[in-house]
Amino acid sequence: MKVTSRFLIVCFLLLAFLLAGCSGSPSSSPAPLTYSATIAEGRAALQKALEETGAASMSVALVDGDQVVWSEAFGVAEKSTGQAASTDTLYCIGSVSKMLATVSVMKLAEQGKVKLDDPLVKYLPDFRMLSPEYRDITVRMLINHSSGFGGSDYRNAFLSAPYSGYGEQVQAALKEERLKFDPGYLNVYCNDGFTMVEILVKALTGQSYPDFVRQEILIPLGMSHSLYPQKLEDLLPGTYAESYADGQLVTPEFVSVYASGGLYSTPSDMGRLAMMLMNGGSLGATRMLSPASVAEMGTDQTIGTFNPLPTDLVRYGLGWDTVTQPGMMAVGIEGWQKSGGTSAYHTEFLVLPKEHLAAVVLTDGSGGAKALSVAEQILLRALIERGKLSAMPAPQPPMTLAEVTPSETDQEAISGLYAANLKLCRVSFAPDHSLTIESASCGVWNRKVKNFKLRADGWYTSDENPTLSYTPVIGDGRRYLAARTTYGYGHYLITVLLAEKLFAKPQMTPAWQERAGKTYLNANVSMYDRTMMGSSADPRFTLIAMPDLPGYLFTPSMDVVDASVDDVLARMFLLIPQDSGRDLNDIAVVARGGEEWLRQGSTLFRPLASVPTLAAGSSTVTIGSEGFNEWRTLPATSSVSIDGASEWRLYDADFKQIASGPGSGSAVLPGSGTAAYLMLFGSPGATISLNLALE
């Protein structure tokens, strides 16, 4: 039947009349959602998270479209005064700062100052590395974790005072380092790539990175409670959330890795960033990015790269950890996620671009274990109130598949030693064909997993813990151990590549055999370095040899290097995409003053055996022109006074810190053990006076 144009016009006018209603009648527009159920459930979840984790405070924001519909803080910002946390209380957002670095790069690209797929050396001609392939690193690779850098230079990263030279430190360190893999080959989490964005921004704009972000992003978006602390006054007592680790206060924390993890903010401020991203690059009348740039940020960058077991948990966008957030994917919703953590704080930043919903959860370090679960729970309940979901998802059911007996060949192929960042584990089989996994700590094996049986789906699962499974994976001639477990709110499973299998190598070289087991001491640590403060911090660095792996050496944190190739470089070699292959470094021999020192990243270690012994009576120590800390060996029973140091720390024979102080001071030595050790800090050229009184 043919419909005439006149008929269509009449129908349209009639429909318009009916929709308009009579003059003066109430509007038929639905009332805006108050999210009352979401807020009530979110409050309960946050209170429960505080109780379960022991966190002092948590802060949250829920964003709908162009407004923050809920913002609230829980707990205390200061334990000593009992001051309650407020919505203005600052938290360091850690690696969520990478989103600001990514927005910076995209803005510069839109301004025509940089192209994402141009080589980095086009814009930084003085950038160098030992591997000639560094010339192939593109700008895009800095922000999608595929540059090939070792990972993270942690020296001077987390301090108790501001430090503005970190970016230059990283660039200088990279000149002495090899690439972990050819640029673009795989994606593995890499902080140093984002730190190089700081250098790039300054080269292209003439502005420091914090100034550029403040003027070009924070101010235009109205993020008035966000800052990069660059002086002590930027973190005044009462303005930030205190955080404790092992009962010790670890704040204020100045995070020097600005682009990778240094922004302090509030949930409401981060909500404004979420609004801009959900609105295709604009917030109100402010156009920050084009829709195309925001869409590119949300595009999976891992497609086509080496990735033997793809996982929704790690599908890097530009800046994003994943652009297929698994907790949302489990209910059919697209989600973008960025997580962040420092030694003192944790952040979850979840954006649902098509739903125009976002949740931000900030907490002190203790609350990090529950932050993602809370953020997902809030968004799931909000989707129900919107009518997008009918009910909260049920917990992931246990895997109850039938058992299968693995062949002897399969057992032999899976058995062996596996390594990853900060991890060494041993896989073996019991006589009943069940799988066992042990983890090594300082050369001691501890059983972590046992009685895992092969199931019909190819994963090893136990009856006692049926939502945790393991399976072998092969990729590009390498063997991996993968894990599968429940995650977040608990309604879904995630898979991760856990570790790479180690195969036999030739015996380590005689030079490295000589160095194995010797103790070295941190020689260029800052006195403000949070990771080296407190009685539990150990300044020693000892290379560990294991009889089962004659060609390898292990650091105290169980990172592995290949010591079979040459005498002066023990090489990183693991190639694990996603996250477990992050933060790996060569260990290089450095000649200094006729001694062999070791270098890992930009950190230097000097031999303990050559530390001078402090003579009885008065003496002086001069800090060298580089400002490196000085060490002295003391008898175990005596007392020492120090005058003129910026700071000093005294350790017993087991390198447990027994005394410390700023400037001048004195201490009685432990009176037990074979010796004591004094660590001295001062400005370059400073003279420190010491007096050792023997009993």
Domain boundaries, the chain: 38-385, 408-501, 510-598, 611-694
Say what the pLDDT of residue 10 is: 32
Say what the pLDDT of residue 399 is: 79
**Percent of the chain predicted with pLDDT > 70:** 95
Q: Mean pLDDT over residues 274-302, rounded? A: 98
- 368-413 pLDDT, tens digit per residue, is 999 999 999 999 999 999 999 999 999 999 877 999 999 999 999 9
Structure tokens at 550: 């004659």
Say what the pLDDT of residue 30 is: 56
pLDDT over threshold 90, residue 1: no
Say what the pLDDT of residue 8 is: 31
- 18-76 pLDDT, tens digit per residue, is 233 333 434 444 567 899 999 999 999 999 999 999 999 999 999 999 999 999 999 99
Topology annotation, domain 408-501:
Lipocalin (2.40.128)
Say what the pLDDT of residue 421 is: 97
Q: Mean pLDDT over residues 548-558, rounded? A: 93
Distance of CA 664 to the CA centre of its chain: 37
Q: 101-139 as b/e, with b when 16 or more CB fall inside 10 Å? A: bbbbbbbbbbeeebebeebbeebbeebbbebeebebbbb
Place of tokens 């973008």: 336
Q: Mean pLDDT over residues 293-319, rounded? A: 98
The lowest-confidence range among 323-332, 391-400, 576-585, 678-687 is 391-400
pLDDT over threshold 90, residue 618: yes
- At residue 548 the predicted structure's pLDDT band, cuts being 50, 70 and 90, is confident
CA distances, 691 to each of 71, 107, 638, 665 (Å): 57, 58, 11, 11
8 Å CB contact between 62 and 35:
yes
Q: Mean pLDDT over residues 312-325, rounded? A: 98
Say what the pLDDT of residue 449 is: 87
- Cα–Cα distance between 208 and 201 in angstroms, integer? 7
pLDDT over threshold 70, residue 558: yes
pLDDT over threshold 60, residue 13: no
Q: Mean pLDDT over residues 567-585, rounded? A: 98
Say what the pLDDT of residue 443 is: 67
Say what the pLDDT of residue 447 is: 84
Say what the pLDDT of residue 21 is: 35
Residue 543: which residues within 8 A CB-CB, separation 6 or more?
A: 512, 515, 516, 517, 518, 553, 554, 555, 570, 587
Structure tokens at 621: 């120590």
Q: Mean pLDDT over residues 98-102, rounded? A: 98
- 235-283 pLDDT, tens digit per residue, is 999 999 999 988 889 999 999 999 999 999 999 999 999 999 999 999 9
pLDDT over threshold 70, residue 154: yes
Say what the pLDDT of residue 534 is: 80
The CATH architecture annotation of domain 38-385 reads 3-Layer(aba) Sandwich (3.40)
Q: Mean pLDDT over residues 141-156, rounded? A: 97
Structure tokens at 24: 């003066």
8 Å CB contact between 209 and 197:
yes
8 Å CB contact between 610 and 598:
no
The CATH architecture annotation of domain 611-694 reads Sandwich (2.60)
pLDDT over threshold 80, residue 6: no
Q: Mean pLDDT over residues 614-640, rounded? A: 96
Say what the pLDDT of residue 500 is: 98
Residue 205: which residues within 8 A CB-CB, separation 6 or more?
A: 108, 113, 212
Separation of first and last alpha carbons in the chain? 113
Amino acid at residue number 197: V
Q: Mean pLDDT over residues 581-588, rounded? A: 98
pLDDT over threshold 50, residue 454: yes
- 188-233 pLDDT, tens digit per residue, is 999 999 999 999 999 999 999 999 999 999 999 999 999 999 999 9
DSSP 284: T
8 Å CB contact between 254 and 163:
yes
8 Å CB contact between 551 and 510:
no
Mean pLDDT of the chain: 94
Q: Mean pLDDT over residues 647-659, rounded? A: 96
